[in-house]
Amino acid sequence: MLKRQNPSTPEHSKDLAAHGGAPSMSHNDSRSFFNLSQLVLSAGQIKPSPALKHSKITYFEVEIVDVQSKKQICIVDKVPPASTLLDVKHKFHKACPQWYPSRVGLQLERNGPFLKDSVSIQSLAVSSIVTLYFTDLGQQVGWTTFFLTEYTGPLLIYLLFYIRLSTIYDQAESRKNFRHPVVHLACFCHCLHYIRHLLETLFVHKFSEGHTPLKNMIKGCAFYWGFTSWIAYYINHPRYTPPSFGHKQVSYAALAFLMCEAGNHFINVALAHQTNSGNRTCFPSPTYNPFTWLFLLVSCPNYTYEAGSWISFTVMTQTLPVGIFAFLMVIQMSLWAQKKHKLYLKRFYPEVRRKAAMIPIIF
């Protein structure tokens, strides 16, 4: 006898599916579906993904303390991490209008160096409160104003002595004595020197937005203006005597002076071009211009040419005031050159280590 087949067997389901029928759900399938439903219900209601919240910005509080009395002057609050020290100075100026930003000196420690305006607050912060020590730097002037004032004075003062004002020299004696050609040449060279400085200050040099105390400008003006008055008085005096070796001494010295002035200008242009191009990763290299070849021997050729100008001017005029001024200038520029040379050694050691600071061959 043939056994009746169970319609719920797999073969029966396949037949129904083949003829387009829908198979009925088996007991195991319904149990699996029930377990899945219980799992979903036990997991709770499906929550939507939370929206991304912006992270809160941590603000800093900058406490300004007087460096002498250690008393708190004010607190600059809500300072963003990206703020610089210059931003803090501007906010400090709003709280204390008597101290404008260029007059404010801030230190991280009482005996520490003054911090630069470009320093970020985040780099100084150890906690949410930053303590800075305040020093009043006094009245300040910009670097452009500083140099323009310092160089304009000698230019005008020398011309006043050159025209021989009646309040300076005796007019009767001035008319009798003939002026030696070196007097006119000295006036031309002296004016050329300071006109070059003024033009380079306006169009070549790129000064930072920093400032310097007014007392420094007064000291610089007193030095340059005072020596110019002394030099101009002797050279333009009616009793001035020409150099001992005459025309030959004057000609060679004047030629050396003009070459040093040209070299100084081309070196300053090369340094300014390097700064403007942003290429500070390598030491300035000589170009086709022969005046820049001094870079092969010294690291500060602009000071070398400046010293050469005043030494040449001393030989050309053969006066004691010019010699004393040239001697002091050589000492001052050698100190500046040594300071810059140390910075160059740290930044461009392989290229600068065999160079002198200002005077060739002397290491």
d(CA 112, CA 65): 14
What is the structure's pLDDT at 159? 97
- Angle formed at CA 188 by CA 186 and CA 189, multiple of 5 degrees: 65
- Residue 51's pLDDT band (cuts 50, 70, 90): very low
What is the structure's pLDDT at 20? 45
**pLDDT of 41 strictly over 90:** no
Instruction: Indicate the average pLDDT of the chain.
Output: 85
Q: 154-158, 215-219, 270-274 — which is least confidently predicted?
A: 270-274
Taking CA atoms, 279 is separated from 263, 282, 283, in Å, by 22, 7, 9
Q: Give 3-state DSSP helix, strand, coil % of the chain, rounded to 5.
A: 55, 10, 35
- Residue 33's pLDDT band (cuts 50, 70, 90): low
- Which phi and psi angles does 20 have, rounded to 5°? 85, 5
What is the structure's pLDDT at 174? 81
- Residue 34's pLDDT band (cuts 50, 70, 90): low
Taking CA atoms, 222 is separated from 193, 226, 231, in Å, by 18, 6, 14
d(CA 108, CA 64): 10
Share of the chain above pLDDT 90, in %: 59
What is the structure's pLDDT at 12? 44
Q: Return the sign of the alpha-carbon dihedral for residues 198, 202, 205, 210.
A: positive
Q: What residues does each domain of the chain span?
A: 60-138, 139-241, 243-362
Looking at per-residue pLDDT, the higher value among 143 and 51 belongs to 143
Q: Which fold has domain 60-138?
A: Ubiquitin-like (UB roll) (3.10.20)
Residue 257, both tokens: 């002076």
Task: Tell if the pTM clears 0.85, that is, is over it.
Answer: no
Assess contact for 130 and 61: CB atoms under 8 A: yes
Looking at per-residue pLDDT, the higher value among 176 and 257 belongs to 257
Looking at per-residue pLDDT, the higher value among 36 and 213 belongs to 213
**pLDDT of 257 strictly over 70:** yes
Q: Residue 107: which residues within 8 A CB-CB, separation 6 or more?
A: 67, 113, 114, 115, 132, 133, 135
In whole angstroms, how large is the CA radius of gyration of the chain?
40
Residue 65, both tokens: 């303390």
Which range scores top for mean pLDDT: 108-122, 123-137, 184-198, 345-359? 184-198
Assess contact for 153 and 220: CB atoms under 8 A: no
What is the structure's pLDDT at 29? 54
What is the structure's pLDDT at 163? 93
- Residue 66's pLDDT band (cuts 50, 70, 90): very high
d(CA 354, CA 363): 8
- Host H or E run for residue 321: helix 320-347
Q: Which of 116, 120, 74, 79 is nearest to 97 (CA)?
A: 74
CA atoms lying within 13 Å on the CB side of residue 46: 2
What is the structure's pLDDT at 280? 64
- Residue 39's pLDDT band (cuts 50, 70, 90): low
What is the structure's pLDDT at 340? 92
Residue with tokens 């060679």: 252
d(CA 168, CA 234): 11
Q: Residue 150: which residues within 8 A CB-CB, separation 6 or more?
A: 217, 220, 221, 224
Assess contact for 264 and 309: CB atoms under 8 A: yes
Share of the chain above pLDDT 70, in %: 81
Q: For residue 356, give the 3-state DSSP assignment.
A: strand
d(CA 264, CA 302): 5
